[in-house]
């Protein structure tokens, strides 16, 4: 509660000083002179609030900056792991729907659906490799002829 009363005091003092600065200076004084006249050097409470506030704010911003840089460094070094986890998550979400569909259609357990979905997945991968073998062998043959 002490901080809120100090903050209220600070805001009231600032608003009264601001109103003195904004008003057009009289007697040929410049704005800086009006500001200097409005500041009471004996007002140690206001000076203590300013220095304490600045010290705590600078520490908070420094700490937050160091924390952001450290987290960024950790994420950058773990980027390969993050890619693998994300890929595994996407594949698991896609395969899960296929497993559920097979389990419903076969009226069996989830294990049969898992076995069938992995069997189909491996079959698709192998068929892709088998389709590419003739193309790759002809390309390697042309490289050898050169």
Q: Extract the tokens encoding 140.
A: 């390697």
Domains in the chain: boundaries: 2-71, 78-145
Percentage of the chain exceeding pLDDT 90? 24
What is the average pLDDT across 118-145? Answer: 88
Question: What is the spatial distance between Cα 116 and Cα 107, in angstroms, rounded to a whole number?
Answer: 13
Q: Extract the tokens encoding 85.
A: 């986890």
1 pLDDT band, cuts 50/70/90, is very low
Q: What is the mean pLDDT of the chain?
A: 78
Given a contact cutoff of 8 angstroms between Cβ atoms, the answer to whether 12 and 49 are in contact is no
Residues in CB range of 106: below 8 A, 6 or more apart: 112, 113, 116
Closest among 115, 117, 112, 109 to 91, alpha carbons compared: 117
What is the average pLDDT across 1-27? Answer: 60
- 54-100 pLDDT, tens digit per residue, is 777 788 888 999 999 999 999 999 999 999 999 999 988 888 888 88
What is the average pLDDT across 26-48? Answer: 59
| pLDDT surpasses 90 at 126 | yes
Question: What is the spatial distance between Cα 29 and Cα 33, in angstroms, rounded to a whole number?
Answer: 6
Question: What is the spatial distance between Cα 2 and Cα 4, in angstroms, rounded to a whole number?
Answer: 6
């Amino acid at each position: 509660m002490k901080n809120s009363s100090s903050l209220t005091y600070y805001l009231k003092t600032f608003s009264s000083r601001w109103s003195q600065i904004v008003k057009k200076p009289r007697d040929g004084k410049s704005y800086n002179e009006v500001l200097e006249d409005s500041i009471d050097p004996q007002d140690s409470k206001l000076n203590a609030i300013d220095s304490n506030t600045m010290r705590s704010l600078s520490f908070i911003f420094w700490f937050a900056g160091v924390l952001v840089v450290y987290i960024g460094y950790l994420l950058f070094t773990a980027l390969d792991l993050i890619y693998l986890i994300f890929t595994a998550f996407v594949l698991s979400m896609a395969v899960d729907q296929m497993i559920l569909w097979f389990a419903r259609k076969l009226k069996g357990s989830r294990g049969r659906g898992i076995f069938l979905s992995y069997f189909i997945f491996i079959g698709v991968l192998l068929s892709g490799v088998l389709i590419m073998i003739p193309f790759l062998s002809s390309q390697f043959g042309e490289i050898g002829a050169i």
